[in-house]
Structures are given as C-alpha cells and as structure tokens.
Chains A and B, each alone.
Chain A
Amino acid sequence: MTDQGPMTEAMYYILLALLRPGHGYGMMRRIQELSGGRLVMGPGTLYGVLARMNREELIVLTGEEGRRKNYAITPAGRSALLAEYARLKRMVADGDILEEAER
C-alpha cells in the first residue's frame, strides 16, 4: 500500500510514532513528544486512523497487554512513510524560493 495520495497529519505522525512499536496511549504521548507538543491527538482520531491503517496493512497488531493492544509498522507502512517523507521534503525544498524572495 504505497500508491496512496498524500497522508493526513494524523496518519503521518502515527506511523512515525510506530517506528517504535507500542499501544494506543503510548502512541499519543509519543506523537505529542515528536511534534514538540503541537499535536495533541484525541483517542477518537487515533483509534479511527489505527483501524483504517490496520485494514490497509500499513500497521499490524502484534500483541495485547491486558486490554491494551500493541501495534507495529509493517514494511508497506514504512515504505508509505518514507514516500510521504520524501514528498514533504520535496515540497519544503520547492518552498526555498520563498526564502529567496523574502531576502
């Protein structure tokens, strides 16, 4: 599943957080950490996106700790994340002309 269009912000950060496998609440804290506190993801958003990415095989359920479910990124998810990262980098690079114009 690497041919999808641009990712949503929530998908991007969840995949980033899952570079280190973990459960839902851990992911939420990690996302807040990764975004420097900018992004506080609600449980509804998180679970909705997890369910969708699980269906699309970007992530996989690896086990359960009590009621908590642990997830990990799949090779397809990693490819999609890398593709999105590359797309974002290109977009940022394309935006360099803005800085030149501002000078």
Chain B
Amino acid sequence: MNRRRYRFHPGDYELGENEKFYGDMEAQGWRLVSRGAFLSRFAPAEPSAARYRVEVAEENYYAYLSDEDMDDGRLAVFADCGWEFVTGRRLLRIFRAPAGSDAPEFYMDPRQQAATLKTLHRQHLIGWIPTLFTLLFSLFLQSRRLGGLAYFHRAWVEETALCLLLLAAVAWLVYVNLHAAWHVGRVIRRMKRGQPLDHSPRSRRHVHRAVCWGLAGAMVLCGLLAAAQRMEARAGELPLLTTEPYLLPGELGLPGERTLKEGSVTHSRSLLADCWDVYEKMSASQENTVWIWQDVYLLGTERAAVSMAQSLMGTATFGDRGRSFHPIDPGELDMAWAAGELELVAVKGRLAAHITYIGDGFWDPVAICRALEEKWAG
C-alpha cells in the first residue's frame, strides 16, 4: 500500500526547526520524501534517530528552483561525507544522515555558515516588495482610471469579503517576511559571534504562530465568504413585475417594445450591502433604441447610503468623477443628483441608486425620481 502523509512544515527561515521537525517525523516512522511550499510529504519507514540538516543556497535564487540544477559536485562531497540529499525547494536543500553515522557537521565555524544565510535574509527582507508594489500599483492604476477613492469604496461595499481577503493576504505577506528577516538576522548575528545553529530548538514562539494562524484563518474565512457571495449571486432576465428596488422600464414611463433577451438583473449580497445590477436595452421606435443601466444598493445604514451615493457619482461613467452632477429636487427622496442627460443618483433611507440612460427624447430625471419614490415607498 502506497501510504503517504502530508504535514505543514516550519518556514524556510526556521532552519533548526525544520531539522528537528524532520528528525521527529522519522523517529515516528515517517521519512521525508519532498518539500512543497507549505507541506512536506512523508513515506512510512522504520522509526529511527536520523539527523537532518538544512543547507541554504548562497547563489542566485533562481538557479535552485529545480533539483536538476543542483550542483553535482557539491552533492558528491556531501554524499561522500555520509549526507544523503533528500529534497530541495527554493533556497533550501535538505540532507539526512542515518542514525549512528559519523557524518560531520556542515560547518566547522558558525561564522562561515552565517555567510550562507545572507541570500535567505535578503529574500525575506526585500524579496516580497516587488510583489506588493506590483499589486498596489495595478490597484492604483485601476482606481485612477475608474474613479480614485470612490472606486475603492464601491469595491469595498460590493466585494467586502474579497477586499478583506486581499488585505489579510497583504498583511500576511508583509508580516511573515519581515518576521522571517528578523529571525534570520538574529541567527546570523549569533553565528557571527561564534554561536552555532541550534539543531533542535524548543518552540517558544507562540505569539508568532498565533498571528500566522490568525491571518491564515482570516484568509480562509474571507475566501469562503467571497466564494459564497459568488455562488449566491443570482443572474437572470428582467421580470415583467418586481418588488425589488430597481425600476422596470414601464415604471419609468418609457414607451417602447421590451426586448427581454437583452435585459438582465444580477442580485448579489456582500457583507455590507445587497446589490442589484440591472441592464436593459429596449426599442422605443424603429429608429430609436434606449439603454438603461441601474446599480441599486440596500446598505446597512442611511449614512452608508449617502456615502455610497457620493462614490456612485465619483465612478459614474459620464459624470466626470462627480463634477458633472448637480442636485435636483428630490421630492420624497432624501437626495438626488443628475448629470447631463445621462445619469442620475438618488438616495432614500438605506437605499442608493445610480441610473444611466442612453437614448433620445425620454430623459426626465424628475420623473425617474418620482418612479423611485413610488418604488421605494415601502
């Protein structure tokens, strides 16, 4: 029977912890086979007191992405000394010596080993910055294109769980790497003082582990919530009648023949709001076609609805980032703004709506406000 076992291993920067972890697993009858990003794979073996040692590549990080790139000459020296190469991943190469073997330690002077840890230290200190920079820069460009801070606010309301997942991932990336850099830096300083690596450290870093598991748990939770939101989202054709808070063309007082094949409504629920995304294209006459888009939100508080209205104006397609909007008579609504003959934003209570209209001849923002009043009256 080809049994195997997977276990989460200590981070790349925890050299002594990794050595102890693999030695403990072998003592329990599980021999290391391979090491992945977070999990190590083990195969059953006779329990034994094998020694494991971790060697860190000093050279170019990318030269060690695969085992085939390992330097044969170096492996031969280790093998001749009694160290069997087990597996490697990224900067780490893991060797094993059987119980009772007289295989010498890798370094006769801790100061020499300290020099080998510089690449690992640098990787954790600055290696993550390009990833974070690329992410933030792409978000920045996206927000510049779509409405600045208002874009982020809309994304936060519509995709709260996904935004929290992103924030947790960034926090995890920064925390784990900076902690690793601090840890490796401390090991290097100790080695430079002549103190050898502790090959079987006692785990005392409960706070660090709690932070890591907390962030990982937050990421999993947010990922599940985001997936649930996606799965729960309902998309379908526009109904002929509805009690939901968006307007149907008939309620807008628009004449014309409904072309249902080109109308759709998507309802989704984030942690902060219920969102309806409505689109319809209809023929008002043979020469005249009208397009209507509606984004309607039911938020948690009235204040959130007003704030959302500001962001809807800031991200409006034709509203020049809100500058083209001007207040109009809201009637029974709390507030309403219109931009040109294309867009309208309205708020009442916890509801906020953004309606975009393209077509000739029917634009009447006051009439739309009255239709919304009627619709939202309940």
A interface with B by C-beta (< 8 Å): 10, 23-25, 28, 39-49, 64, 66-69
Cβ–Cβ contact B73 & A28, under 8 A? no
Asked whether B287 is an interface residue with its Cβ less than 8 Å from the other chain, the reply is no
- B108 on interface, CB distance cutoff 8 Å: yes
18 contacts between A and B (CB under 8 A): A10-B108, A10-B112, A23-B77, A24-B73, A24-B76, A25-B76, A25-B77, A41-B108, A42-B104, A42-B105, A42-B107, A42-B108, A43-B77, A45-B109, A47-B74, A47-B77, A67-B72, A69-B73
Task: Note all chain B residues with C-beta closer than 8 A to A69.
Answer: 72-73, 76
Q: Which B residues are CB-close (under 8 A) to A68?
A: 73, 76-77, 80
A48 and B116 in contact (CB under 8 A), knowing A41-B104, A42-B104? yes
B53 to chain A: closest residue by CB: A44
Interface residues of B in 66-84 (CB under 8 A from A): 72-81, 83
1/0 per position for B107-130, CB-CB distance to A under 8 A? 111001101100000000000000
Not counting A48-B116, A66-B76, A69-B73, a sample of 17 additional A-B residue pairs whose C-beta atoms are within 8 angstroms of each other reads A24-B76, A24-B77, A24-B80, A25-B76, A25-B81, A28-B77, A28-B80, A28-B81, A42-B106, A43-B80, A43-B106, A44-B112, A45-B106, A45-B107, A67-B79, A68-B80, A69-B72
Nearest CB of A to B314, in Å: 58
- At the interface, yes or no: B341 with Cβ under 8 Å from chain A? no
With both chains docked as a complex, state the minimum distance between the C-beta of A93 and any C-beta of chain B, in angstroms.
27
- Measured CB to CB, the nearest residue on chain A to B74 is A47
Closest chain B CB from A37 CB (angstroms): 12
B-side interface residues toward A, CB under 8 Å?
55, 58, 72-81, 83, 104-109, 112-113, 115-116
Across the interface, which residues of A come within 8 angstroms of B79, CB to CB? 67
Query: Complex: how many Å from CA A47 to CA B109?
Result: 13
Give Cα distance in the complex from A69 to B78, angstroms. Answer: 12
The residue from B80, B107, B108, B115 contacting A25, defined by CB atoms under 8 A apart: B80
Q: Which residues from chain A contact B109 at a C-beta distance below 8 Å?
A: 10, 45
Interface pair A45/B112, CB less than 8 Å apart: yes
Q: Determine whether the beta carbon of A45 is less than 8 Å from that of B76.
A: no
Look across to chain A and name the residue whose beta carbon is closest to the beta carbon of B112. A45
Cβ of A48 and Cβ of B112 under 8 Å apart?
Answer: yes
Chain B residues within 8 Å of A66, by CB: 76
**Pair B80/A44 contact, Cβ less than 8 Å:** no
B104 touches A40 (CB 8 A): yes
Instruction: Evaluate whether A44 and B73 lie within 8 angstroms (CB atoms) in the complex, with A10-B112, A25-B80, A68-B80 already known.
Output: no
Contact check, B81 vs A45: say whether CB atoms are below 8 A apart: no
Cα–Cα distance between A72 and B77 once the two chains are bound (Å) = 16
B113: A residues at CB distance < 8 A: 44
Residues of B within 8 A of A40 (CB): 104, 108
> Of residues B58, B112, B113, B116, which shows the largest number of chain A Cβ atoms within 10 Å of its Cβ?
B112
The residue on B at minimum CB distance from A70 is B73
Closest CB of chain A to B106's CB: distance in Å?
Answer: 3
Complex formed: what's the CA distance from A45 to B115 in Å?
Answer: 11
Cα–Cα, bound, A67→B112 (Å): 25
Query: Bound complex: CA of A25 vs CA of B74, how far in Å?
Result: 10
**What are the residues of chain B within 8 A of A41 when measuring CB–CB?**
104, 108
A42–B110 CA distance with the chains assembled, in angstroms: 11
- Minimum CB–CB distance from B63 to chain A (whole Å) comes to 13
Nearest Cβ in chain B — how far from A16, in angstroms?
A: 16
State the CA gap A10–B73 with chains docked (Å). Answer: 19
List the A side residues contacting B58 at CB < 8 Å: 48
Contact of A43 among B72, B104, B115, B116 (CB under 8 A): B104
Return chain A residues, CB-CB under 8 Å to B115: 48
Evaluate whether A67 and B108 lie within 8 angstroms (CB atoms) in the complex, with A43-B81, A48-B115, A48-B116 already known. Answer: no
Q: How far is the CB of A58 from chain B (nearest CB, A)?
A: 17
Q: How far is the CA of A46 from the CA of B77 in the complex (A)?
A: 9
Contacts A24-B73, A48-B58 given: A39-B78 contact, CB under 8 Å?
no
Q: What CA separation (Å) do A44 and B58 show in the bound complex?
A: 11
Q: In the assembled complex, how far is the CB of residue B225 from the closest CB belonging to chain A, in whole angstroms?
A: 47
A18 to B81, CA, bound (A): 18
Across the interface, name the chain A residue whose C-beta is closest to B81. A43
Q: B108 contacts A39, CB within 8 Å? A: yes
Chain B residue nearest to A47 (CB atoms) is: B74
- Of the candidates A10, A24, A44, A67, the one whose C-beta lies within 8 Å of that of B55 is A44
Complex contact B106–A67 (CB within 8 A) = no
Say which residue of A23, A39, A44, A67 sits within 8 Å of B107 (CB atoms). Answer: A44
